[in-house]
């Protein structure tokens, strides 16, 4: 049982071996070389990016028997003992288990004593944010003016919980999350040194699952070696991680782009047979959608780690930018749904169905490029669409052509110039989403004359209470932004039957009449009236 896990075996022993933290290494190396080294450091960052490792290397640099240097020898007894965790002048303290003020006071009582072996005593306090407020207060004075032979190295994953009084006494270094190529490169280097057979795709899957943490990547690599009996193969790693092969992912996304329901259904069945992590599949689809969006706007800069150049270019041409953005939003919403869904398989299938069913308002599924994806059928109108104040307003709003992405307010005004004032006013009220007193005022204005310079309306008699300085100014602002610069003029003496409020009442009456006719022709309703004397209650006011 002498096996040593990879995360410990390949822990960096020199600054040169660190991966991806050049900004921290440069500052520490320069400080050691010039002798301008602070007495307290705070290393922050997510788990597994090198906080404790850097602290230990710094302890070696300060106590190496060859002298203070940014390149500790690694051979002397001090370097060997620090690597083994038995050096008496390096005190590693787990703040999560020693949070009390008594533990901190006991530590501070020993600070004044000289080092036992080395030239410097180093206190490494891991997860320092777990200390209690009393412990932080007890530490402040010593942290600000420690003895010459003492260095404090603090590490935390949550710097927001560290009091600002402590932060102001430390040099703070934020260790960044490692990129996928950095993690994959280090894993490839380790597998080569360990003489392990592996697939590049398997290494990339592990690097993606590591989520910026090299230690997590090494732990997953250990798991993959155990799962694959000493080899790291793509098929085995995908099963271990609950991921799907790139071929399956491409087939599913290609079917979505083509709006081919049969292919999508077949791809879902194939996924189900593998029992994948559906959350992982959604993350992969989000990344693919991101790659397509970047390719559409940034061209060759949007290289994908999941799909080849041919597929990426074809999808970028086949999909409209609006539809890609909608896919991204729907997939992000699916991430939250999967966390709370009783059945992840059904939640994932519903997310895929939404990608097929929904499209941007007034948009088209096919882009301006190859146009390989045909336009999807329009979604049917639902009863919810009729719950707004006026069906006539919806009809006007839906009949408008979708504006071009780069259209200016002036071009919008020119586009609407041929429309009648009543239609343009109804369109503006709905599209701008007016609410409260502003909407009440807009519903009771009679549209009279609209042009590029001014929009003239008239307020219905008896509605003067709605006209205040605030509502008038706010409505004028909305009109100016919507029309591209037209001024709002509100007269008095408007006709109440020519307002949107009148159109709303007319639509409600029509709906009530239709309901009444339906009841009169319904045999069940007539039986209730005849046998039990039932009466219909008219809720229309």
SS (HEC) of 106-132: HHHHCCCCCCCCCCCEEEEEECHHHCC
- Return the bridge partners of 123, or none: 91, 152
At 152 the pLDDT is 93
Number of domains in the chain: 4
At 360 the pLDDT is 75
* CA 451 from centroid of its chain's CA atoms: 43
Is residue 369 situated within a structural domain?
A: no
CATH code at position 145: 3.40.50.300
Regarding whether 416 and 314 lie in a shared domain, the answer is: no
Is residue 295 situated within a structural domain?
A: yes
Handedness of CA 401, 405, 410, 411 (dihedral sign): negative
At 523 the pLDDT is 79
Regarding whether 165 and 24 lie in a shared domain, the answer is: yes
Compute the average pLDDT of residues 161-170. Answer: 92
Q: With a cut of 60, say whether residue 453 has pLDDT above it.
A: yes
Compute the average pLDDT of residues 394-410. Answer: 38
Is residue 372 situated within a structural domain?
A: no
CATH code at position 192: 1.10.8.60
Q: Residue 108's CB: how many other CB atoms inside 10 A?
A: 17
Is residue 18 situated within a structural domain?
A: yes
Q: With a cut of 50, say whether residue 429 has pLDDT above it.
A: yes
* CB of 294 closer than 8 Å to CB of 324: no
Compute the average pLDDT of residues 484-496. Answer: 86
Question: What are the pLDDT digits (tens) for 84-117?
Answer: 888 999 999 888 887 888 888 888 888 888 898 8
Regarding whether 187 and 169 lie in a shared domain, the answer is: no
Mean pLDDT of the chain: 81
* CB of 187 closer than 8 Å to CB of 218: yes
Regarding whether 198 and 161 lie in a shared domain, the answer is: no
Regarding whether 153 and 13 lie in a shared domain, the answer is: yes
At 245 the pLDDT is 79
Instruction: Give dist(CA 485, CA 479) in Å, integer.
Output: 8
**Among 241, 258, 286, which residue terminates a domain?**
241
3-state percent breakdown (helix, strand, coil) of the chain, nearest 5: 55, 10, 35
Regarding whether 201 and 130 lie in a shared domain, the answer is: no
Is residue 12 situated within a structural domain?
A: yes
Q: Which domain holds residue 161?
A: 6-174
At 235 the pLDDT is 85
Q: Degrees (nearest 5) of the Cα angle 235, 237, 240?
A: 110
- Return the bridge partners of 490, or none: 457
Q: With a cut of 50, say whether residue 409 has pLDDT above it.
A: no
Look up the pTM and report it: 0.59
Q: With a cut of 90, say whether residue 364 has pLDDT above it.
A: no
Regarding whether 338 and 189 lie in a shared domain, the answer is: no
Strand ranges (E), 6-96:
40-44, 90-94
Regarding whether 186 and 124 lie in a shared domain, the answer is: no
Regarding whether 267 and 229 lie in a shared domain, the answer is: no
Is residue 123 situated within a structural domain?
A: yes
Regarding whether 421 and 312 lie in a shared domain, the answer is: no
**Among 217, 241, 265, which residue terminates a domain?**
241
At a CB cut-off of 8 Å and minimum separation 6, what does 197 contact? Answer: 230, 231, 232
Residue 131 half-sphere exposure toward CB, CA atoms < 13 A: 29
**Among 174, 194, 229, which residue terminates a domain?**
174
Is residue 367 situated within a structural domain?
A: no
Is residue 365 situated within a structural domain?
A: no
Regarding whether 225 and 165 lie in a shared domain, the answer is: no
Bridge-based pairing state of the strands 445-450 and 454-460: antiparallel
At 1 the pLDDT is 52
CATH code at position 493: 3.30.300
What is the H or E stretch that residue 303 is in? none
Regarding whether 126 and 260 lie in a shared domain, the answer is: no
Instruction: Give dist(CA 27, CA 306) in Å, integer.
Output: 36
How far CA 266 is from CA of 20, 252, 312, 360, in Å, comes to 42, 9, 22, 26
């Amino acid at each position: 049982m002498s096996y040593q896990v990879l995360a410990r075996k390949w822990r960096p022993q020199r600054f040169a071996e660190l991966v991806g933290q050049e900004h921290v290494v440069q500052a520490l190396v320069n400080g050691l070389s010039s002798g301008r080294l602070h007495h307290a450091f705070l290393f922050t960052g997510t788990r597994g990016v090198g906080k404790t490792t850097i602290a230990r290397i710094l302890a070696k640099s300060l106590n190496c028997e060859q002298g203070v240097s940014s390149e500790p020898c690694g051979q002397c007894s001090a370097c060997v003992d620090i690597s083994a965790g038995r050096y008496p002048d390096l005190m590693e303290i787990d703040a999560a288990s020693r949070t009390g003020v008594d533990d901190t006071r006991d530590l501070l009582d020993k600070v004044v004593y000289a080092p036992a072996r080395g030239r410097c005593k180093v206190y490494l306090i891991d997860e320092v944010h777990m200390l209690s407020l009393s412990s932080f207060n007890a530490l402040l004075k010593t942290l600000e003016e420690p003895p010459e032979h003492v260095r404090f190295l603090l590490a935390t994953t949550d710097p927001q919980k560290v009091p600002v009084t402590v932060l102001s006494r430390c040099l703070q270094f934020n260790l960044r999350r490692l990129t996928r190529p950095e993690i994959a490169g280090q894993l490839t280097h380790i597998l080569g040194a360990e003489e392990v057979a592996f697939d590049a795709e398997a290494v990339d899957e592990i690097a993606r699952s590591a989520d910026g943490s090299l230690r997590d990547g090494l732990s997953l690599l250990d798991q993959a070696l155990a799962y694959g009996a000493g080899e790291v193969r793509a098929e085995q790693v995908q099963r271990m991680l609950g991921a799907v092969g790139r071929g399956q992912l491409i087939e599913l996304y290609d079917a979505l782009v083509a709006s081919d329901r049969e292919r999508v259904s077949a791809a879902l069945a194939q996924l189900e047979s593998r029992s994948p992590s559906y959350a992982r599949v959604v993350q992969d689809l989000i990344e693919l959608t991101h790659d397509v969006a970047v390719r559409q706007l940034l061209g060759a800069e949007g290289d994908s780690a999941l799909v080849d150049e041919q597929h990426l270019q074809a999808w970028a041409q086949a999909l409209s930018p609006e539809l890609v953005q909608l896919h991204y939003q729907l997939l992000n919403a699916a991430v939250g749904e999967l966390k709370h869904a009783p059945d992840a398989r059904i939640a994932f299938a519903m997310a895929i169905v939404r990608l097929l069913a929904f499209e941007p308002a007034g948009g088209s599924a096919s882009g301006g490029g190859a146009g390989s994806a045909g336009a999807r059928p329009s979604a049917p109108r639902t009863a919810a669409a009729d719950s707004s104040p006026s069906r006539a307003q919806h009809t006007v709003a839906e009949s408008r052509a979708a504006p071009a992405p780069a259209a200016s307010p002036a071009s919008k005004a020119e586009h609407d110039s041929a429309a009648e004032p009543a239609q343009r006013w109804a369109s503006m009220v709905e599209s701008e989403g007016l609410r409260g007193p502003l909407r009440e005022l807009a519903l009771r204005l009679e549209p009279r004359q609209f042009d590029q310079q001014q929009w003239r309306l008239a307020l219905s008699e008896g509605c003067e209470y709605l006209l205040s300085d605030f509502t008038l100014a706010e409505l004028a602002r909305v009109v100016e932004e919507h029309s591209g610069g037209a001024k709002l003029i509100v007269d008095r003496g408007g006709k109440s039957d020519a307002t949107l409020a009148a159109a709303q009442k007319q639509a409600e009456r029509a709906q009530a009449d239709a309901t009444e006719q339906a009841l009169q022709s319904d045999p069940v309703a007539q039986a209730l009236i005849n046998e039990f004397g039932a009466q219909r209650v008219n809720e229309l006011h």
